[in-house]
Structure 1
Amino acid sequence: MIKFGVIGTNWITESFITSASNIEDFQLTAIYSRTEKRALEFGEKFHVDKVFTDLETMAKSDDIDAVYIASPNSLHSKQAVLFLNQGKHVLCEKPIASNVAELEDMVNAARNNNVLLMEALKTTLLPSFTQIKDNLHKLGEIRQYFASYCQYSSRYDAYKSGTILNAFNPEFSNGAIMDIGVYTIYPMVALFGKPKTVQATGIMLESGVDGEGSIIFNFGKMTGNVMYSKITNSYIPSEIQGENGSMIIDKIHTPEHVEIRYKDGSVEDLTIPMEFPPMYFEAKEFIDLIKSHTYESSINSFSNSLNTMSLLDDIRSQLGLVFPADKH
């Protein structure tokens, strides 16, 4: 059994625990929250009574082998390094850090301590994404990647009424590119590598974060175009266009239905039904790597995370989106 602690007591942590509970080697043993009351309440849902309100004590505890971090983005790096330096494996929610400098600290800590660090970016570990990757060759020369993820945030109404929640607060390294845009960029990097050039434009909100944006990437023989938003909805699918046909992906963040429409008019359905909730697959990858004493995922690799983070840094620079974390 791999004994897990969790940092964060929000809905995403609940989703992770519920999904990972389908894996026989997963055991939830500890909860962290800033208040003992909240930690105990959350633990009660999952029959866990070992709670922590101090991260250093938790990191030194023999009650956990690994930790899932789902705290605000600005806290990811410091918390991850603390646990990595205590020999604990770390699965960290996307985006894995605020910037490249923070991520490099995390990677160095993982390597120095021979423990696993992995970004919890679910998309690339889903069965349908494997289908996307394995069938790209059928498209012929690939010329364009297009991805759209625009989802009106439930917190935006509060923002418009004058209440700035974490999602729209730069103090926490947040904003649309970090929360939503990363889902359009990471899969592109995983499939095609890092582009040669980036051009970004977007709408900045008065709180200091971006609300939405569009980005053009140039790879030389192909281009990438993405749009993302937390202040509007979009209902169009994503697409990879090749000279022989185009691959249509229903949702880039959680691909379920995938098909190729060939230029001769024929259609090939590549969809694989998911037997488990989406976050199951990232937990399974993480646990399998620990069990095999492998300390870097070949899918959500350090390279893919660093290249994505480098692009996010570049995009933020072009938008004028600055975090307090950038000054450290």
Structure 2
Amino acid sequence: MINFGVVGTNWITERFIAAGRQHGDFNVTAVYSRSEEKGQAFSKKHQLPLSFTDIWEMARHEEIDAVYIATPNALHAKQAILFMENRKHVLCEKPFASNSTEVSSMIKKAEEEGVVLMEAMKSTCMPNFLAVREHLHKIGPVRSYFSSSCRYAAFYDDLKKGSLPNLFNPALSGGALMDLGVYTIAPLVALFGRPTSIQAIGTVLESGVDGHGHMQLEYEEVKASVMFSCITNSYLPTEIIGEKGTIVVHHISSPKGTEIHWPDGTKEDISNPQEYDPMYYEIAEFIQLIQTNKQQSSINTWENSIITMEILDQARQQMNVNIN
């Protein structure tokens, strides 16, 4: 049994707890919130025995084995390092940190302390993305990759009214690329590794973060194109296009199904059964790492997290967005 603490009380933390409780070795015992009122309400709602407003106190607590960090992006590295210094395993929400320098610092600390560190990129752990990896060879040499992650955020209306939601706050490393675009980049890196070049253009909002953008990424044989937005909607699937066929992935941030389209017009459904909540699979991977004394995932590897963040860094620089 792994005793988890959660850092943050937003909707994604609630989903994490619900998904984790589907796993027999998951036990959530504690929550951290800056607000005592919110922390107490959250712990009561989810029946947690411990609630903290002092993150250093939580980090030192002996009844916590691991933490899930779901705070604003700019806080990820500092909080992850604090917990690792206290020998806690860390599962940290995507994007892993504000920039690649922070990611490198996190990994260095994990190596020093001998703890597990993993980016909570749920999509690459899910059954239907694993199906893509398993069947990729069938479509022959891959020539193109296209992916879109665009969803109009209700917070955009707040921004236009004069407030500054976390999603659009440059001080918190917000923006469309960090929030949704990363879902198009992480699978690309997991499949093909580091690109040889990238070009990015985007719409920079008055707050100073990107609201919408496009990116072209080149590999030796593969040409990739991705689109991301928090101010528009798109309903396109992801396509991985090979000389012998095309793999179509529905809803890349949480793959719901995938099939191969063959040149003769037929389709082959290669979807894997998904028995559990989408977040269950990253949790299961993380717990297995702890139980088998492995520091990093073979799926969400440290190298993949660094490459992904370096791509986000370069793209934001090209769009004239501050990378902190």
TM superposition score category, shorter chain reference: over 0.9
Range that drifts further, 263-272 or 123-132: 263-272
Alignment pair present for 1:27 and 2:24: no
* Cα pair 1:76 1:97 within 8 Å, conserved: yes
How far apart are residue 46 of structure 1 and its match?
1.2
CA deviations 1:141-181 (Å, max 9, x no partner) are 10001001110001111111111211111010110000000
* Cα pair 1:128 1:257 within 8 Å, conserved: yes
Q: Residue 10 of structure 1 aligns with which residue?
A: 10
How far apart are residue 273 of structure 1 and its match?
3.0
Q: Which one-letter code corresponds to 2:267 in the other structure? A: V
Q: Which one-letter code corresponds to 1:262 in the other structure? A: W
How far apart are residue 48 of structure 1 and its match?
1.0
Q: Residue 99 of structure 2 aligns with which residue?
A: 99
Q: Residue 199 of structure 2 aligns with which residue?
A: 199
* Percentage identity across paired residues of the two chains: 49
* Cα pair 1:40 1:49 within 8 Å, conserved: no
The residue correspondences of 1:52-91 to structure 2 (distance < 5 A) are 52-91=52-91
Range that drifts further, 301-310 or 40-49: 40-49
CA deviations 1:48-80 (Å, max 9, x no partner) are 131111111111110200000001100000000
Q: Residue 273 of structure 2 aligns with which residue?
A: 273
Alignment pair present for 1:220 and 2:226: no
State the alpha-carbon separation in 2 of the partners of residues 61 and 49 from structure 1.
Answer: 13
Q: Residue 255 of structure 2 aligns with which residue?
A: 255
Q: Which one-letter code corresponds to 1:299 in the other structure? A: I
The residue correspondences of 1:1-328 to structure 2 (distance < 5 A) are 1-323=1-323, 326=324
Range that drifts further, 264-273 or 75-84: 264-273
Q: Could you list the runs of 4 or more consecutive aligned residues of structure 1 that deviate by over 3 angstroms after TM superposition?
A: none
CA deviations 1:72-96 (Å, max 9, x no partner) are 1000000000000110000000001
RMSD of equivalent CA atoms:
0.7
Q: Which one-letter code corresponds to 1:2 in the other structure? A: I
CA deviations 1:206-263 (Å, max 9, x no partner) are 0000001000001021101000100000111110000001111111111112010111
Q: Which one-letter code corresponds to 1:250 in the other structure? A: H
CA deviations 1:271-296 (Å, max 9, x no partner) are 22311110000000000110111110
State the alpha-carbon separation in 2 of the partners of residues 99 and 165 from structure 1.
Answer: 20
State the alpha-carbon separation in 1 of the partners of residues 319 and 275 from structure 2.
Answer: 40
CA deviations 1:281-319 (Å, max 9, x no partner) are 000000011011111001000000000001001001100
* Cα pair 1:256 1:273 within 8 Å, conserved: no
State the alpha-carbon separation in 2 of the partners of residues 50 and 241 from structure 1.
Answer: 50
For structure 2, the residue ranges without an aligned partner over 5 or more in a row are: none
For structure 1, the residue ranges without an aligned partner over 5 or more in a row are: none
State the alpha-carbon separation in 2 of the partners of residues 273 and 150 from structure 1.
Answer: 26
- SS of the residue corresponding to residue 27 of structure 2 reads strand
Task: With the length of structure 2 as denominator, give the TM-score of the two structures.
Answer: 0.99
How far apart are residue 265 of structure 1 and its match?
2.1
- SS of the residue corresponding to residue 135 of structure 1 reads helix
- SS of the residue corresponding to residue 71 of structure 1 reads coil
State the alpha-carbon separation in 1 of the partners of residues 180 and 154 from structure 2.
Answer: 13
* Cα pair 1:256 1:272 within 8 Å, conserved: no
Q: Which one-letter code corresponds to 1:8 in the other structure? A: G
- SS of the residue corresponding to residue 213 of structure 1 reads strand
State the alpha-carbon separation in 2 of the partners of residues 115 and 99 from structure 1.
Answer: 21
- SS of the residue corresponding to residue 28 of structure 1 reads strand
Task: With the length of structure 1 as denominator, give the TM-score of the two structures.
Answer: 0.98
State the alpha-carbon separation in 2 of the partners of residues 81 and 251 from structure 1.
Answer: 32
Q: Which one-letter code corresponds to 1:247 in the other structure? A: I
State the alpha-carbon separation in 2 of the partners of residues 111 and 53 from structure 1.
Answer: 28
- SS of the residue corresponding to residue 164 of structure 1 reads coil
- SS of the residue corresponding to residue 47 of structure 2 reads coil
